[in-house]
Amino acid sequence: MLMAQVTDIHLGFDPDNPAEFNRKRLDQALKTICDMIPQPDVLLATGDLVDRGDQDSYRRLENAFSVVPFPVYMCLGNHDLRAPFQRQFPDVPTADGFVQYEVDDGALRLIFLDTLEEGRHGGAFCEVRAQWLADRLTEKQDKPTVLILHHPPVESGIAWMNTHPDEPWVDRLADTISGHDQVVGMITGHLHRNISTSFAGTSLSICASTAPQVAFDLEPIDPENPDGRNMIVADPPAIALHWWNGKQIVSHFETAEEHVMLARYDKNLQPLVRALLAERPE
């Protein structure tokens, strides 16, 4: 199973602009994904779908996703708002008022979590949401399961974007997952950077944004001393491909751009390909 991912789209950052920079970057990312061979089975859009939670931006998001020829599954981030999202996408399931649901029609069971607390930048995962997840994990303990959410429940080292490990929602999520070995991975966004780590005994993959990205900087930050450091950079739009090979998730990070090609598979490289494949077991 091959899962493509886009995240942190922030559509509507430049409202009322039909040539919005973030829309162009999203379209560029979607074209890269749709042109892939093999084609992904699903597209995961992991939150901060729009920038201001407004209805018009969700409408334009639906228009952008209309070119994707395979299912698109979404979860919400801190820039989203539930009510306008649900008005635009009424078919996306909810549970107890939260945008939480499962998709179980492939090699993996996908469980989408709602970590949005409206008005807060960081994540949230209350007892109601945790109980819903606990019930779902108890139901099918033999089916490999991936959790998809916006906020990574880990400390990244980027000081102004960090999740503090002592935040109550982090412990609650870890406790809910604990003992469920069928959870084979977690897929998130939010940090606008590609990061690989682990959480609660499973792999955690963080995809960079299609919108402009967070600059790499591990130096502590002083809220009382603006020091002129880089904060946001316009690197090419990012995408991720998560491949389930039947045993584990393998995540690839890519950019949506024209790459400078230094070699192609022709007769000159054919001996190398033959030699590499010949080394493998029958």
CATH of the domain at 138: 3.60.21.10
Q: What is the pTM of this model?
A: 0.96
- Count of the separate structural domains present in the chain: 1
Give the pLDDT of residue 18: 83
Alpha helices by DSSP H, listed for 11-81, are 21-34, 55-65
Q: Mean pLDDT, the chain, as a whole number?
A: 96
The least confident of 13-17, 124-128, 155-159, 244-248 is 13-17
Give percent of the chain with pLDDT exceeding 90.
96
Contacts of 232 (CB under 8 A, 6+ apart): 192, 212, 213, 214, 215
Q: Tokens for 282, please give them.
A: 């029958």
Q: Tokens for 165, please give them.
A: 């490990």
CA distance 186 to 202: 7
**What average pLDDT does range 259-282 have in this prediction?**
94
Give the pLDDT of residue 15: 87
Q: Could you report the per-residue pLDDT of 202-219, keeping only the tens digit for each?
A: 999 999 999 999 999 999
Flag whether pLDDT at 269 surpasses 90: yes
Distances (CA, A) of 112 to 35, 133, 242: 26, 9, 16
CA angle centred on 22, ends 16 and 25, rounded to 5°: 140
Main-chain phi, psi angles of 58, to 5 degrees = -65, -35
Residue ranges making up the domain that contains 222: 2-278
The least confident of 1-10, 23-32, 162-171 is 162-171
Q: Could you report the per-residue pLDDT of 215-250, keeping only the tens digit for each?
A: 999 999 999 999 999 999 999 999 999 999 999 999
Give the pLDDT of residue 43: 98
Checking 174-180 for CB contacts under 8 A at 24+ apart, the result is 174/199, 174/200, 175/130, 176/130, 176/133, 176/134, 176/137, 177/133, 177/137, 177/147, 177/201, 177/202, 180/137, 180/141, 180/145
* H/E stretch holding 276: helix 270-278
Give the pLDDT of residue 282: 83
**What average pLDDT does range 16-20 have in this prediction?**
88
Burial of 155 (0-12, 13-18, 19+ CB in 10 A): middle
**What average pLDDT does range 125-132 have in this prediction?**
98
Give the pLDDT of residue 16: 83
